[in-house]
A and B are shown apart, each in its own frame.
Chain A
Amino acid sequence: MEQLIIAAIITIIIGFFSVYALTPIVIKALEKRNVTVIDVNKKEKTMVARPGGLSIIVGIISSLIALYFFFPIAEILAIAITTGLAFLVGIIDDRKTMGGWFKPLALAFCAVPIILLGAYDSNLDFPLFGSVKIPMLYLALVIFMIPITGNTFNSIDVLNGVVSGVSTIAGFALSISLFILQNYEIAIACLLLAFVSLAFYRYHKFPSKIFPGDSGALVFGAMYGAIAIVGHVEVIAAVIILPAVINSFLFLSSVKKVVEHRQIKNPISHTEDWKLRSTLENHAPITLVRLLVARKPLSEKQICTEIFKLAIFSGILGIITACLMGVELS
Chain B
Amino acid sequence: MNTSVFAFIFTMWVLILVGGGFLVLFIGPISFVGTTDINPMLNSIIKVIIALILIFFWVLILTKIKNWIFQKQIKS
The 0/1 profile, CB within 8 Å of A marked 1, for residues 13-30 of chain B is: 100110011011101100
Contact A253 B59, CB 8 Å, known A238-B16, A292-B5, A294-B74: yes
Residues of A within 8 A of B46 (CB): none
Please, what's the 1-or-0 string for B30-65, where 1 marks a CB less than 8 Å from any CB in chain A? 000000000000001000100000000001001100
A129 touches B5 (CB 8 A): no
CA distance A91 to B71 in the complex (A): 39
- Given contact pairs A126-B20, A292-B5, A242 touches B69 in the complex (Cβ within 8 A): no
A242 & B2 in contact (Cβ 8 Å cutoff): no
Q: Are A130 and B24 neighbours in the complex by a CB distance under 8 Å?
A: yes
Q: How many A-B residue pairs have CB under 8 A?
A: 85
Query: How many angstroms between the C-alpha atoms of A108 and B17 in the bound complex?
Result: 27
A126 to B48, CA, bound (A): 17
The dominant DSSP class at the A interface is helix
Complex contacts, A130 vs chain B, CB 8 Å: 24
Q: Which A residues lie within 8 Å of B59 (CB)?
A: 249, 253
Distance, CA A314 to CA B70, complexed state (A): 20
Give B9 Cβ to nearest chain A Cβ, in Å: 5
Considering the chains assembled together, what is the distance between the CA atoms of A310 and B70 in angstroms?
17
* Cα A314 to Cα B69 with chains together (Å): 19
Contact of B6 among A127, A278, A313 (CB under 8 A): A313
Assess the A249–B62 pair: CB atoms within 8 A. yes
Q: Point out the residue from B8, B13, B23, B74 that lies within 8 Å of A132, measured CB to CB.
A: B23
Question: Is A126 a contact of B23 with CB atoms below 8 Å?
Answer: yes
From B1, B16, B25, B73, give the contact of A294 (CB < 8 A): B73
Contact A317-B24, Cβ < 8 Å, known A137-B48, A235-B16, A253-B59: no
Chain A contacts for B44, CB-based, 8 A:
136-137
CA distance A132 to B16 in the complex (A): 15
* A211–B65 alpha-carbon span in the complex (Å): 33
A266→B28 CA distance, assembly (Å): 43
Chain B residues, CB < 8 A from A324? 17
Of all chain B residues, the one with the shortest Cβ separation from A254 is B66
Q: Does A322 contact B (CB under 8 A)?
A: no
Closest residue of chain B to A314, judged by CB? Answer: B9
When the two chains form their complex, are residues B23 and A317 in contact, meaning their CB atoms are under 8 A apart? no
- Give the chain A neighbours of B8 by CB distance below 8 A: 246
Residues of the A chain whose Cβ atoms lie less than 8 Å from the Cβ of B66: 249-250, 253, 286, 291
Contact A313-B9, Cβ < 8 Å, known A291-B70, A291-B73: yes
Residue contact B70 to A294, C-beta cutoff 8 Å: yes
Q: Is the CB of A317 within 8 A of B9?
A: yes
CB pair B12–A245 under 8 Å, yes or no, is yes
A311 to B16, CA, bound (A): 17
Shortest CB-to-CB span from A294 to chain B, Å, is 4
Chain A: minimal CB distance from B13 (Å)? 5
Alpha-carbon distance A235/B16, docked complex (angstroms): 8
Complex: A160 Cα to B10 Cα, angstroms:
26
Interface pair B10/A126, CB less than 8 Å apart? no
Please measure, in the bound complex, the distance between the C-alpha atom of A310 and the C-alpha atom of B1, giving whole angstroms.
Answer: 10
Give the A-binding residues of B (Cβ under 8 A).
1-2, 5-6, 8-10, 12-13, 16-17, 20-21, 23-25, 27-28, 44, 48, 59, 62-63, 66, 69-70, 73-74, 76
Across the A-B interface, give the 5 residue pairs with the lowest CB-CB distance, nearest first.
A126-B20, A294-B73, A129-B24, A132-B28, A129-B21
Can you list 10 A-B pairs with a CB-CB distance of less than 8 A? Answer: A128-B21, A129-B21, A132-B24, A242-B12, A246-B9, A253-B62, A278-B74, A294-B70, A309-B1, A314-B9
